Amino acid sequence: MPAGRSLPPWARRLASQALNQILAYVTELGGVGPGDARARRFGAFGEGSLLCFPTGAVYNERYIHIGSHTIVGPYVSLSAGMAPGQDMVSDPVVRIGDRTTIGRGSHIVGHFCVEIGDDIQTGPYIYVTDQNHVYEDPDTPVGRQWPVEKKVSIGSGSWLGTGVVVLPGATIGRNAVIGAGSVVTGEVPDHAVAVGSPARVVKRYVPGVGWKAL
């Protein structure tokens, strides 16, 4: 079989068109929407919502609730717990609200409680988790020490830029902006802009004044 670049131009054009049509068809067909068998595995899967194809690692769906008209981008991993089939102590473990968009390649990994509100937009490759390793025992490898969980909350109307990391115990308020590449470890109030690692608030909205740099 001839290599693609050695085909005559007309043949390459036809092959390219056909392959792109097939890819578009597979991408559309592979998405998970309400009523699909896979959507019924979730604890909740709202009207008009979509898991784009291809998905990342998605398991223990019964502990994951997705609201209405929410889009989870391609290659996004959604998980509750460490392994498929694990029984969890809370339900839901991960809740994503209505009209929220999770950018491609992101990871949302819940073990206790991850709450993501309504009307949230994220860039690609964000990472949100409510569990982290501990290192109190200096003689035991960190990976073998029992991790701890702390609730994570992301308020409605917020925007998380590309590559944001949200760690256990973090609370992000409503209509907040988290700059690209930031690492959120604590509290970001409503109507605030936070950047850096660890993220710190650099701007807040003051009623009657407007946005004010800190």
Catalytic positions are: 133
Strand partners, 172: 154, 188
Spatial contact of 73 and 49, defined as CB atoms under 8 Å apart: no
Report d(CA 72, CA 53) in Å as an integer: 9
Structure tokens belonging to residue 95 = 């809740």
Q: In terms of Cα–Cα distance, which of 167, 72, 174, 66 is closest to 124? A: 72
Identify the three-state secondary structure at position 79. Answer: strand
Cα three-residue angle 107-113-118, rounded to 5 degrees? 70
Burial classification of residue 181, based on how many CB atoms lie within 10 Å of its CB (0-12 exposed, 13-18 middle, 19 or more buried): middle
